[in-house]
Amino acid sequence: MSLRILPRRLLPLTARRATSLIPSRPLRPSFVVGTPRRFFSDDLSSPTPLPIFHLSETEQMLQETVARFANDMILPKVREMDEKETMDESIIEGLFENGFMGVEVPDEYGGAGMGFGAAIVAIEELAKVDPSVSVLCDVHNTLVNTAFLKWGSSDLKKTFLPQLATESVGSFCLSEPASGSDAFAMLTTAVPSDPASSADPSHYTINGSKCWITNAGHSKIFLVFAQTNPSLPANQRHKGITCFVVPRDTPGFAISKKEKKLGIRASSTCVITFDDVRVPRENILGNVGEGYKIAMGLLNEGRVGIGAQMIGLAQGAWEAGAKYVWQERKQFGRYIGEFQGLAFQVAEARTEIEAARALVYNAMRTKEALDRLKEAGEDVTSGTGGAGAPAGGKQGEFVMQAAMAKLYASNVAQKVSGAAIEWMGGMGFVRDGLAEKFWRDSKIGAIYEGTSNIQLQTIAKLLQKAHAQ
């Protein structure tokens, strides 16, 4: 039999010649398509998998309560709060009264003792009505409360968690005029009381300023990140950053400028100045030099919260638009939503929302699974989920999912809310309704808690590391 008739791959190796212009195709593809990343399901004995949007009974009840509260108490005031650029105090009180400000705080400290999923659902529901209220609740729950829960000493927990769960709003102070994405270039210093002699100073003195601080106008408790070792070289600076708990009434602490913003105007955003602010060493969250780790850890989770805010916003805008085109506005003898062109736009927008929601919900469930594994003593930073997965084991998987969720959700929120205005025509443009507000509110999604470029950087780095030769 002539060797030429056989397919190339069956030819004995010696018979193959490297003369073909077409590169030889390997016998198997160099990547395995569709390998499920069975990270989590192998380790956690899972019953029949459910749709990603499935909520536990507790989460459903919470969703019901938050939705009712949002529609009854917040909706009537949304426009007024936006015009006045001020959050209504009664809404903040209502958030505390109903337990929305201590979702994950354990019962013994006065919280609701629910899981991360519950917090995310609450943030999403609030954002469907007012993203400003949603962000107040989000920063408070996912950044401030979580910081105490994860890194607070038992004394700090006992002192501050009950307050945070029942009456005091919290703020997260990381950014400065000169350092946003480049967080470790922060200039705010925390000088220890006896720098030369004692390795265990009694207090620290904070000087500097922070900006873009959410909730600042209302907060009583501030988490402040400061550099305790300014003499560190540039590439080591992160090792000196420490997280301090600073109560509002500490002498030298001042809220200076309140920002006037494009969107989430009812959310208080201020500049804070520190003028020889003395903080006892007991108020350090975690340990000296751990601030970097704490901030990054919190922001990884906070990202999912922002993703939830953005998908809530997108849904709120979409609902307003869908209602208008299918129930309210008739032109040329029929509802404008009956024209295929418009209906297709509405369908497209909804598809994007569902995709963004899927990313956010997956990130949220990934975090819950991760926490369960950590509690069981598992090593979550090593191992790999197979080709296509990011570096860093299960933790890396979560970080990537969270970054993707926030990136995509903020993108979708902007697109959908912008489209909704157009569906509503003039009615979408005027400040009588809420459509234009959703679009302005959406802009911040791509900016705070890690800009979209930073998210892309995070995702790229994790993937690149996993694919390094």
Pick the closer one to other proteins by CB: 65 or 207.
65
Q: Considering only CA atoms, which of 447, 95, 357, 442 is closest in space to residue 434?
A: 442
- Residue 163 touches other proteins, criterion: CB under 8 A: no
Largest separation between any pair of C-alpha atoms in the chain = 95
By CB under 8 A, which span of 26-34, 63-71, 185-193, 256-264 interacts with other proteins?
63-71
Task: Tell me if residue 316 falls in helix, strand or coil.
Answer: helix
| Minimum CB distance to other proteins, residue 58 (Å) | 6
Pick the closer one to other proteins by CB: 120 or 416.
120
Give, as ranges, the residues between 96 and 155 that touch other proteins (CB under 8 A): 97-100, 102-103, 107, 110-114, 118, 122
DSSP 259: P
Instruction: Report the residue from 27, 53, 57, 196 that binds other proteins according to the rule CB under 8 A.
Output: 57
Pick the closer one to other proteins by CB: 139 or 246.
139
# of chain residues touching other proteins (CB under 8 A):
22
- Residue 356 touches other proteins, criterion: CB under 8 A: no
If DSSP states are collapsed to H, E and C, what string results for 106-117?
A: CHHHCCCCCCHH
- Who's near 186: CB < 8 A, 6+ residues apart? 174, 176, 178, 179, 208, 225, 226, 227, 241
The DSSP-derived string for 362-392 is: HHHHHHHHHHHHHHTT---SS---STTPPSS
| Minimum CB distance to other proteins, residue 109 (Å) | 11
Catalytic residue among 124, 125, 397, 449: 449
Pick the closer one to other proteins by CB: 103 or 223.
103
Dist CA 365 CA 379 (whole Å): 18
The answer to whether 442 and 313 are in contact (CB under 8 A) is yes
| Minimum CB distance to other proteins, residue 8 (Å) | 57
The answer to whether 123 and 153 are in contact (CB under 8 A) is no
- Residue 162 touches other proteins, criterion: CB under 8 A: no
Give, as ranges, the residues between 75 and 104 that touch other proteins (CB under 8 A): 97-100, 102-103
Active-site residue flag, 449: yes
Dist CA 104 CA 208 (whole Å): 32
Pick the closer one to other proteins by CB: 169 or 349.
169
The residues binding other proteins (CB under 8 A) are 57-58, 61-62, 64-65, 68-69, 97-100, 102-103, 107, 110-114, 118, 122
Residues with catalytic roles: 449
